[in-house]
Structure 1
Amino acid sequence: MVHDLLDKLPEAAQAYLEKGKIDEVECVIADLAGVARGKAMPGPKFAKQTHFYLPNSVFLQTITGDWTDIPDMPYTEPDMVLTPDLSTATAAPWTADWTLQVIHEIHDQNGNPVPTAPRNVLKRVVGLFEEQGLTPIVAPEMEFYLVSPNTDPAKEVEPPMGRSGRKAAAKQAYSMSAVDEYGPVIDDIYDFAEAQGIEIDGIMQEGGAGQIELNMRHGDPVRLADEIFYFKRLIREAALRHNCYATFMAKPIQNEPGSAMHIHHSVVETKGGRNIFTDEQGEDSEAFLHFIGGMQRHLPSVVALLAPYVNSYRRYVRDFAAPINLEWGRDNRTTGLRVPVSSPHSRRVENRIAGMDCNPYLAIAGSLACGWLGMQEKLPPAPAFDGDAYDSDEGIPRTFGEALPLFAEATAVRDVLGEEFCKVYAAVKEAEYTEFLQVISPWEREHLLLNV
């Protein structure tokens, strides 16, 4: 049975197991936050098992571990049926034994995709393109910080100690010396990624102290979201090997830039692969302009997916490496929607709004949904912006409290993403926001306790 399983695994997973047998398989799914949930089992048992069960309540849990009651949805915790997607099988090379990770498909007991599962939400959106003979293509960029171990939440996060014995320095964007400061972590990231068969397009130093950007190859949205899901764990494990943390929090360090997950989008014809963002003359097509128009119109409604926590909005600071507008421009990093320099064949638009704290399945789904609606509604974009777009009007909600009502009221977006998912997501996020509002911050104690 185990040998039959090995034959079905991706090439990288087979290569990883050439030197050892499968000791353990981690059967995982992503919850609303993008946290891995599931169970581990011995390799021989996994080889014999076709599926396993988890309660649907895993999608009702907040980031703090509390559970959310949804009106008109009885809390009976029925089992979902999880079946392995063996194309996602990959190594867990940081473990002491020979372990594989496998992402699982999620259906109800009647065989229908569970609508609240983030991976299924993304598949639903991709399916809308496929129904019209189109294939969406994405290329994510991941930004994250390496920081000193932080075991006390009351303590401020600090940059890590580099090999020079100094803390990582800020304002060293693109510096090779800065990357070398934590070279052993980078080496493990490369090694782990190679063992997992995940291709890295490039790694560079960003503007924050200990902040790194990792670029990924372009491709299928679901596959790329799977890889980001895996990458977050991979990077955390590499950091822990070298006495530091990796954090994907949108704004972990005060007065430092936030971490984004920029998403590059294009759409090609499924048959032939022609990029529909380019017309026969090699210029911007109507589909391209409508895609941008849809993002300008509908992105405010999905910011709650792209920026899913109160901390996310601390990243949106004028003139601080994060867009606060929905302008679009060519090779202009001050706009929320940037059209990079490219050939007509590679024409694409980069959504710079999403934070790295997002669930990759949901952020990509929300971003694609906006572009899809623009093409269906034939929405024209505003004129391309020239100059510094930080001088333009703010185009996105600036607090989580503003973003949630926009998401709740977005009928068109909810139709694309699925009403049941949107209902559950809004309820979970309302519960998280309500809990946050009960917390008194150090700023309030410092400035209000004796002054007001």
Structure 2
Amino acid sequence: MTDWLSKLPEAVHEYLGDHRLDEVECIISDMPGIARGKAVPASKFAKQEYFHLPDSIFYQTITGEWGEAAGDDGFIERDMILKPDMETASAAPWTGDWTLQVIHDAYDRKGKPIEFAPRNILKRVVELYRKQGWEPVVAPEMEFYLVARNLDPAKSIEPMMGRSGRPAAARQAYSMTAVDEFGPVIDDIYDFAEAQGFEIDGITQEGGAGQLEINLRHGDPVKLADEVFYFKRLIREAAIRHNCFATFMAKPIADEPGSAMHIHHSVMDIETGENIFSGPQGGETDAFYHFIGGMQKYLPPAIAVLAPYVNSYRRYVRDHAAPINLNWGRDNRTTGIRVPLSGPQSRRVENRLAGMDCNPYLGIAASLACGYLGLMEEHRAGPSFKGDAYEDSENDLPRVMGEALEIFDEATALHEVLGPEFARVYSIVKRSEYEEFLQVISPWEREHLLLNV
């Protein structure tokens, strides 16, 4: 037991100090990004090399129903073997005892990675880059809302009450006073993040009422996806402590901006350590334009992964802080693909289309897959866009989940990168979820159709 504890990350040792570890939460991300698993006494965890969960956790919709994705053998709920990645061991500082979380990877009984487990899919895409001598680097930005407690699904979501006793105000982007309104919640977010060993690059107020953004430092895609996975949980726990909810819905409040997970990408040459987007004299390379070209070509089918729910498409509204196009531009936030101001070594490409409601493993994997296909197929980006891209054209993106799934199902090249078995399972589960939604009668329908048609 002592030897096992000695190998844990430094942040864990700092968190535990002289305390005795009580419990370990063995967790894995399901398709929506919910933590599934079980909690075990620390003494038992020290003795186990793996544990089991049925593969059916990946066939569940967000409502808890099931997609018929089990394959030829039928719905037999075959056990997977879940093995811990001890580098992910992290505190659960909101618990009443001394608890750790450990992310696990899923394998079949022959030791082969489960092809539709989200973390395995991201690992698959990263490995494709490495086989080409490239190291992908990402930096996610997380937008979310702090809202008043809402126990009635029929009731509209409202901003949380701030420290001053007034509801959080909208249209206060970058306001430090607005950030101060959430001070106690933010303090707990910082404390939880520090206990878990995470480095926050900054917290800012966004344009929505109660909307915040957390920026994470750039790094390895799998490690950053792990952090976003963990962050969603710790932010929710910090909010609950202060009688409010944290929500990562893409569009929780009708007249407010949606929440995105902007993903910054760069690619390093493993041998030289140089950014392949920049040449010897600091200019933009063919690889830079090919990466953008791949995004322009493959983002439409990838939208089904980057915008995974019916609510996701409410975020893509003209002139409402979410791009609706596939244009790219330098330092232009109206384009779907943005090249931020930077020096040659830190030249990067920002995908602004992903919603914060996406599974971080799948969202980052899909975004990287688009750039990878651009590099491999040498797609050339169109000309950079100058001016307001909202005025350029109609919405270039799918408008509803059903349309997005149709485009996704036809994208065989994208399937080969993400994995054909994942594509099959994902499509079935999401179509089941969409069918569930279509059976719901909305308040709008009752108000306007009940007595008028």
State whether TM-score is above 0.5. yes
In the TM superposition, what is the alpha-carbon distance from 1:15 to its structure 2 partner? 1.1
Q: Which residue of 1 aligns with 2:353?
A: 353
Q: Which residue of 2 aligns with 1:49?
A: 48
In the TM superposition, what is the alpha-carbon distance from 1:73 to its structure 2 partner? 5.0
User: Residue deviations 1:146-166, cap 9 Å, x none?
Assistant: 000000101100000011110
Letter in 1 for 2:367: S
Q: Which residue of 2 aligns with 1:403?
A: 404
Between Structure 1 and Structure 2, how many residues are aligned? 451
User: Residue deviations 1:380-438, cap 9 Å, x none?
Assistant: 01100000000122221111111001111101000101111110000000000000000
In the TM superposition, what is the alpha-carbon distance from 1:75 to its structure 2 partner? 1.3
SS of the aligned residue for 1:174 comes to coil
Letter in 1 for 2:140: P
User: Residue deviations 1:161-189, cap 9 Å, x none?
Assistant: 01111000000000000010110000000
Q: Which residue of 1 aligns with 2:156?
A: 156
In the TM superposition, what is the alpha-carbon distance from 1:272 to its structure 2 partner? 3.0
CA distance in 1, matches of 2:291, 2:121: 20
Question: 5+ residue gaps in structure 2?
Answer: none
In the TM superposition, what is the alpha-carbon distance from 1:116 to its structure 2 partner? 0.7
**Distance change (3 Å), C-alpha of 1:73 and 1:324:** farther
Q: Which residue of 2 aligns with 1:3?
A: 2
Q: Which residue of 2 aligns with 1:26?
A: 25
In the TM superposition, what is the alpha-carbon distance from 1:448 to its structure 2 partner? 1.2
Q: Which residue of 1 aligns with 2:107?
A: 107
In the TM superposition, what is the alpha-carbon distance from 1:280 to its structure 2 partner? 1.5
CA distance in 1, matches of 2:66, 2:430: 11
Quick one: percent identity of the two aligned structures? 69
SS of the aligned residue for 1:207 comes to coil
CA distance in 2, matches of 1:334, 1:67: 38
**Distance change (3 Å), C-alpha of 1:73 and 1:139:** farther
Does 2:121 match 1:121? yes
SS of the aligned residue for 2:166 comes to coil
Which residues in structure 2 correspond to 1:205-220 (within 5 Å)?
A: 205-220=205-220
Letter in 2 for 1:448: L
User: Residue deviations 1:222-273, cap 9 Å, x none?
Assistant: 0000000000000000000000000000000110000000000000011231
SS of the aligned residue for 2:232 comes to helix
CA distance in 1, matches of 2:410, 2:191: 45
In the TM superposition, what is the alpha-carbon distance from 1:447 to its structure 2 partner? 1.1
CA distance in 2, matches of 1:137, 1:112: 26
In the TM superposition, what is the alpha-carbon distance from 1:451 to its structure 2 partner? 1.5
Q: CA RMSD for the aligned pairs?
A: 0.7
SS of the aligned residue for 1:262 comes to strand
SS of the aligned residue for 1:19 comes to coil
Letter in 1 for 2:449: L
Q: Which residue of 2 aligns with 1:130?
A: 130
Does 2:195 match 1:195? yes
Which residues in structure 2 correspond to 1:85-100 (within 5 Å)?
A: 85-100=85-100
Q: Which residue of 2 aligns with 1:326?
A: 326
- Please, what TM-score do these two structures have when normalized by structure 1? 0.99
Does 2:31 match 1:69? no
Letter in 2 for 1:29: I
CA distance in 2, matches of 1:7, 1:326: 49
In the TM superposition, what is the alpha-carbon distance from 1:68 to its structure 2 partner? 1.5
Letter in 1 for 2:328: W
Q: Which residue of 2 aligns with 1:442?
A: 443
CA distance in 2, matches of 1:51, 1:385: 51
SS of the aligned residue for 1:249 comes to coil
SS of the aligned residue for 1:284 comes to coil
CA distance in 2, matches of 1:266, 1:294: 14
Letter in 2 for 1:3: T
CA distance in 1, matches of 2:391, 2:17: 57
Letter in 2 for 1:264: H
Which residues in structure 2 correspond to 1:163-182 (within 5 Å)?
A: 163-182=163-182
CA distance in 2, matches of 1:14, 1:43: 15
CA distance in 2, matches of 1:90, 1:190: 15
Moved over 6 A (4+): none
CA distance in 2, matches of 1:120, 1:267: 20
SS of the aligned residue for 1:396 comes to coil
SS of the aligned residue for 1:215 comes to strand
Q: Which residue of 2 aligns with 1:244?
A: 244
Question: 5+ residue gaps in structure 1?
Answer: none
Which residues in structure 2 correspond to 1:330-349 (within 5 Å)?
A: 330-349=330-349
CA distance in 1, matches of 2:3, 2:399: 53
In the TM superposition, what is the alpha-carbon distance from 1:281 to its structure 2 partner? 1.8
